[in-house]
């Protein structure tokens, strides 16, 4: 008879760090503490936490499928974090790592790819300021020069041992149009992006790199750009057109030999079913908290495997979700690489207490301790929090 757990409290820690992570702590009468993480920007109210607590009352949440269906009636954001925390608690209660409960690991470590932005990390505020200055007639900011991209690529590869990197192509450049309402691309704009990729490739050698277009271009110019970048053998070409029109995305995917990647904003397996059936991408990138937690993500990955499509999770979270993602990704046959978007956040690693770094030489080792196998340093969380903790 598996142990029943009785939830005694939920506590949310919103607004942590520049991406506004939200951690959720669930305590039980049996003395266990489970941790989860919601989508970026989640800021639960006390009433929402009370609602989730009530939904869990009397339930054996080792019965994951039943509890997941109950949670689907709960408040968005809190329920995804709860899903993660319940897996943590279930593993601890049974004395096994979460990957055992998800079917068992296929690999001992999970490959990380680093989102590098450009020649430097930036916040959205800094980016907006640079756009304003270039539009006002200023020079191209140094981090957006092709050579800066290349140097940054080599630095991240050499210092961190990362085996896959990603860069943004939509940067403000003096002399180009900078009209992002018009989705078309000029010859000069395409040539600038070719120079960026040439510099990265020159500094990286054969190391994998992907590029993100942030859904900026129209369909035909996205195809022109994809063709122009084909000599660089990208790991993937991300969101070339807005993902709302899957037929347009499918047209780009069919037109180029670059693997097209999309899906960071999609929620739930039905949205991904639509994408997969239409063959609108070669690689999908569900965001684990946003798309529905570990439970829903696992279903999406299994659907994708039927189409021989790889999964590279979009991931901008704290190490709590990274550790959860590590368990999950270790069990997925069609896993490609997990994003690390927090190179510029100095306290990222300190959110959890581990003997070493969370990411070592480009990989996260799959924990073998019960549950998610992590201990959160609440002092670090509180010291970097803009929000106020909420409990129920």
Residue 154 Cβ vs Mg ion, minimum distance, rounded to whole Å: 23
The footprint of Mg ion on residues 275-294 (CB under 5 A) is none
The footprint of Mg ion on residues 345-374 (CB under 5 A) is none
CA distances in angstroms from 87 to 80, 81, 387, listed in the order given = 11, 10, 26
The answer to whether the CB of 264 falls within 8 A of the CB of 230 is: no
Nearer to Mg ion, 83 or 212 (CB): 212
Nearer to Mg ion, 313 or 367 (CB): 313
Tell me which stretch binds Mg ion (CB under 5 A): 71-79, 198-206, 210-218, 242-250: 210-218
Residue 314 Cβ vs Mg ion, minimum distance, rounded to whole Å: 6
Residue 325 Cβ vs Mg ion, minimum distance, rounded to whole Å: 16
Q: Tell me the C-alpha distance between 162 and 315, whole Å.
A: 16
Please give the backbone phi and psi of residue 217, each rounded to the nearest 5 degrees, phi first.
-100, 165
CA distances in angstroms from 151 to 71, 137, 169, 235, listed in the order given = 46, 26, 16, 19
Tell me which stretch binds Mg ion (CB under 5 A): 12-20, 145-153, 204-212, 289-297: 204-212
Nearer to Mg ion, 203 or 216 (CB): 216
Nearer to Mg ion, 55 or 316 (CB): 316
Residue 332 Cβ vs Mg ion, minimum distance, rounded to whole Å: 20
Q: Find how far residue 215's CA is from the centre of its chain.
A: 17
Residue 222 Cβ vs Mg ion, minimum distance, rounded to whole Å: 14
Under the binding rule (CB under 5 A), the answer on residue 170 touching Mg ion is: no
Please list, in sequence order, all residues whose beta carbon lies within 8 angstroms of the beta carbon of residue 197, skipping any fewer than 6 positions away: 211, 229, 232, 234
Using Cβ positions, the residue closest to Mg ion within the complex turns out to be: 212
Q: What residue has token string 């969380």?
A: 381
The footprint of Mg ion on residues 300-319 (CB under 5 A) is none
Nearer to Mg ion, 189 or 339 (CB): 339
Q: Tell me the C-alpha distance between 232 and 235, whole Å.
A: 9
Residue 94 Cβ vs Mg ion, minimum distance, rounded to whole Å: 36
| Mutual angle of helices 46-56 and 78-94, in 10-degree steps | 40
Residue 142 Cβ vs Mg ion, minimum distance, rounded to whole Å: 23
Q: Tell me the C-alpha distance between 54 and 7, whole Å.
A: 9
Under the binding rule (CB under 5 A), the answer on residue 212 touching Mg ion is: yes
Q: Tell me the C-alpha distance between 259 and 282, whole Å.
A: 5
Under the binding rule (CB under 5 A), the answer on residue 37 touching Mg ion is: no
Tell me which stretch binds Mg ion (CB under 5 A): 26-34, 65-73, 81-89, 208-216: 208-216
Residue 277 Cβ vs Mg ion, minimum distance, rounded to whole Å: 22
The total of other beta-carbon atoms located within 10 Å of residue 254's CB is 11
Please give the backbone phi and psi of residue 121, each rounded to the nearest 5 degrees, phi first.
-70, 150
The footprint of Mg ion on residues 77-96 (CB under 5 A) is none
By CB under 5 A, how many residues form the interface with Mg ion?
1
Nearest C-alpha neighbor of 194 from the set 166, 226, 162, 222: 226
Q: Tell me the C-alpha distance between 295 and 70, whole Å.
A: 13
- What residues line the site for Mg ion (CB under 5 A)? 212
């Amino acid at each position: 008879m598996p142990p029943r757990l009785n939830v005694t409290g939920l506590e949310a820690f919103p607004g942590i760090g520049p991406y506004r992570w939200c951690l959720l702590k669930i305590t039980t009468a049996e003395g266990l503490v489970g941790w989860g993480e919601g989508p970026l920007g989640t800021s639960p109210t006390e009433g929402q936490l009370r609602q989730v607590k009530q939904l869990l009352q009397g339930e054996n949440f080792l019965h994951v499928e039943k509890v997941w269906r109950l949670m689907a009636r709960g408040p968005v954001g809190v329920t995804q974090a709860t899903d993660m925390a319940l897996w943590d608690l279930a593993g601890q209660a049974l004395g096994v790592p979460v990957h055992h409960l998800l079917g068992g690991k296929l690999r001992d470590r999970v490959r990380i790819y680093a989102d590098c932005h450009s020649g430097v990390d930036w916040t959205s505020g800094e980016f907006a300021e640079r756009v304003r200055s270039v539009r006002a007639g200023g020079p191209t900011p140094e981090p957006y020069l092709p050579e800066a991209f290349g140097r940054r690529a080599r630095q991240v590869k050499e210092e961190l041992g990362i085996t896959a990197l990603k860069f943004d192509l939509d940067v403000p450049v003096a002399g180009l149009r900078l009209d992002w309402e018009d989705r078309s691309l000029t010859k000069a704009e395409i040539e600038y992006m070719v120079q960026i990729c040439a510099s990265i490739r020159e500094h990286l050698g054969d190391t994998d790199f992907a590029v993100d277009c942030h859904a900026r271009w129209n369909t035909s110019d996205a195809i022109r750009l994809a063709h122009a970048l084909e000599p660089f053998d990208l790991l993937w070409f991300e969101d070339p057109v807005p993902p709302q029109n899957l037929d347009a995305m499918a047209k780009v995917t069919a037109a180029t030999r670059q693997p097209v990647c999309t899906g960071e904003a999609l929620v739930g397996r039905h949205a991904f079913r639509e994408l997969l059936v239409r063959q609108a991408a070669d690689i999908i990138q569900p965001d684990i908290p946003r798309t529905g937690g570990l439970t829903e993500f696992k279903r999406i990955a299994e659907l994708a495997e039927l189409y021989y499509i790889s999964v590279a999770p979009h991931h901008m979270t704290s190490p709590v979700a990274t550790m959860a993602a590590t368990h999950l990704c270790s069990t997925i046959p069609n896993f490609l690489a997990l994003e690390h978007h927090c190179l510029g956040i100095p306290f990222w690693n300190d959110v959890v207490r581990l003997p070493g770094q969370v990411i070592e030489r480009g990989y996260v080792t799959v924990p073998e301790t019960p549950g998610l196998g992590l201990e959160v340093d609440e002092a670090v969380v509180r010291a970097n929090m803009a929000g106020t903790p909420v409990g129920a």
